[in-house]
Chain A
Amino acid sequence: DIQMTQSPSFLSASVGDRVTINCKASQNINKYLNWYQQKLGEAPKRLIYNTNNLQTGIPSRFSGSGSGTDYTLTISSLQPEDFATYFCLQHNSFPWTFGGGTKLELK
């Protein structure tokens, strides 16, 4: 199985900050990497699919990049509603596997 190492696990930031979250795969996943936002009690929401494609309805302050084994989610200017947990998913090789998650907290 492909291992996904996500960092950092916790991140403290302020409204307006630019933040980045990383996922590293144990092998090449050919850009089949999605990013999700999860809030307590809610269904996870897909933000980015296939590395850099913004899901319809997601604000443009979210962006993704990467290739090979290394991928990044960037939030360009944090808004109050962005404080949540984020996780990545590789869907290049079955079984699909998740990063461990990043909890983004208000500083």
Chain B
Amino acid sequence: QVQLKESGPGLVQPSQTLSLTCTVSGFSLTSNSVHWVRQPPGKGLEWVGAIWSGGSTDYNSALKSRLSISRDTSKSQVFLKMNSLQTEDTAIYFCTRSAGGFDYWGQGVMVTVSS
């Protein structure tokens, strides 16, 4: 069955780089795109970026200068790297598969930006 699972550090210092991994199973990264979505505490969902099945990427225009998404298809993993983190980047980060909008989601990983 389709599964996605996020992993990464729970705490990142301001100005540092966030690195998250989304490990997927039940589908191929060359057949479906994977997106990152985040949710600050008590707030709504924000699309962060995507890596499409062909390997191209798209990013939220507000985050584009700080963001990089890549993948390792042999390991069924998608990677998110965001630099120059600020407190406003504190959020739950989800990875989700694209099929008719988003169909399957990971549980999310809470990332706190704090010194």
Point out residues on A near B: beta carbons under 8 Å.
Answer: 32, 34, 36, 41-46, 49-50, 87, 89, 91, 94-101
Contact = CB atoms under 8 A, between A and B. Distances in A.
Given A49-B100, A50-B100, A94-B58, A44 B47 contact: no
Interface residues on B, range: 10 to 19
A49 B98 CA distance: 12
Interface string B97-115: 0001111111110000000
B93 interface: no
Q: Is the interface of B mostly helix, strand, loop or mixed?
A: strand
Given A43-B108, A97-B47, A98-B45, A91 B94 contact: no
A49 B101 contact: yes
Contact of A42 (B45, B101, B104, B107): B107
28 contacts: A34-B100, A34-B101, A34-B102, A36-B102, A41-B107, A42-B107, A43-B4, A43-B105, A43-B107, A43-B108, A44-B94, A44-B105, A46-B102, A46-B104, A49-B101, A49-B103, A50-B100, A87-B44, A87-B45, A89-B101, A89-B102, A91-B100, A91-B102, A95-B60, A96-B47, A98-B47, A99-B44, A101-B45
